[in-house]
Amino acid sequence: MAPSAVVRAAVKVVANEIANNVIAMLERKKNRKKRVWIRDWIRRRSTLGVSELLLKEISTEDPDSYRNFMRLSVEKFQELLKIVTPKLTKSETCMRSPISPQIKLEVTLRYLATGDSFASLQYLYRLPKHRPKLLHIIFFVPSTDEDWKDIQTGFSTQWNFPHCCGAIDGKHVQVQQPPNSGSEFYNYKGTYSIILFALVDANYCFKYIEVGANGRASDSTIFRNSTLNEAIITNAREYCPFGTLDCEDTDTEDIINGSWHSEGQALQSVRHLGINNHSQAANSLREKYADNFFGESAVPWQYKMIGL
């Protein structure tokens, strides 16, 4: 076979293969199910969602039920909504309307109050599939040295506790035992729980929270695995430079004082309160009443009550 004939045969084979691939691709594209930009039942959120129907109804007719549902009174919810609205408001576009700050706050509070699944909240509030992302906005986690120094100043001036960057504790929130969880959520109190782990400033304002650890975990374990501990370790030299705290000389076993001893003011001494013993006058008055109650003012049944 001539070389030209071989080339033509090869080109024909390649052309047929390309044509078949293009036809198959067009068929797949034709049969591909069209993606929905926004589902019809989600479009009706502003008229048929739980925020517009149930919550609006019970907020006026049954405030106690509203408080039970949201874990906040109507007044407190509106106060909180006013604070977070500037941070949660998104720009309106021609493509679709953003989720309102009110619904974002309601979803977050409902999740914190009940631990409800995100899928359940999605259908309850007619939302696209997503995870609520509001906690960092509500609690304003400190992000700069100045923020942490403000907390230190608060503890120092209000509580006479210098160099304190926050108070940390955990709270057990009792739940029903999750399916197939064994003893994972079983706590030392004899119930099943998840743990709310939080850091607050001198004014009891939350600065960091972490929700969802199993009830059997200790506070130290939760802190060790928290993003707060990770941030502190990552920025250890910034928050606590080497030499700030006391340390031990491993060779001599002596304690080397850290620089904190010479920084700022020491704890103020507590004034002497005097002795706590009762006075002679108080003792005399006590004896006087005792003689009276066991003497002329005594009643017959009082001896029976004490087994005499």
Confirm if 86 and 61 have CB atoms less than 8 A apart. no
Which of 19-23, 84-88, 235-239, 250-254 has the weakest average pLDDT?
235-239
Q: For residues 198 and 212, state if they share a domain.
A: yes
Write the DSSP symbol of residue 259: G
CB neighbourhood size of 285 (10 A): 12
Find tokens 């992000």 and name the residue.
143
Confirm if 83 and 104 have CB atoms less than 8 A apart. no
Write the DSSP symbol of residue 186: B
Q: For residues 205 and 159, state if they share a domain.
A: yes
Q: For residues 205 and 158, state if they share a domain.
A: yes
Confidence of residue 167 (pLDDT cuts 50, 70, 90): very high
Q: Does residue 27 sit within a domain?
A: no
Structure confidence at residue 98 (pLDDT): 80
Residues contacting residue 151 through CB under 8 Å, at least 6 positions apart: 142, 164, 165, 166, 201, 202, 207
Mark which of 103, 134, 165 sits at the end of a domain: 134
Q: Taking Cα atoms as reference points, which of 188, 213, 86, 203 lies closest to residue 137? A: 86
Structure confidence at residue 126 (pLDDT): 83
Structure confidence at residue 127 (pLDDT): 83
Confirm if 180 and 198 have CB atoms less than 8 A apart. no
Q: For residues 130 and 169, state if they share a domain.
A: no
Mark which of 188, 207, 239 sits at the end of a domain: 239
Confirm if 195 and 215 have CB atoms less than 8 A apart. yes
Confirm if 104 and 67 have CB atoms less than 8 A apart. no
Name the domain count of the chain.
2
**Alpha-carbon distances of 56 from 50, 103, 229, rounded to whole Å:** 8, 12, 41
Strands 255-256 and 247-248: antiparallel
pLDDT tens profile 94-111: 666 788 888 888 888 888
Q: Does residue 280 sit within a domain?
A: no
Q: Does residue 256 sit within a domain?
A: no
Distance CA 66, CA 54 (A): 9
pLDDT tens profile 53-68: 888 889 889 999 999 8
Structure confidence at residue 148 (pLDDT): 82
Across the chain, the runs of DSSP E, i.e. the strands, are 167-174, 193-200, 206-214, 247-248, 255-256
**DSSP three-state, residue 242:** coil
DSSP string, 115-159: ---HHHHHHHTT--S-----HHHHHT---SHHHHHHHHHHHHHHH
Q: Does residue 302 sit within a domain?
A: no
Q: For residues 146 and 77, state if they share a domain.
A: no
Tell me the residue range of the domain where 46 lies: 40-134
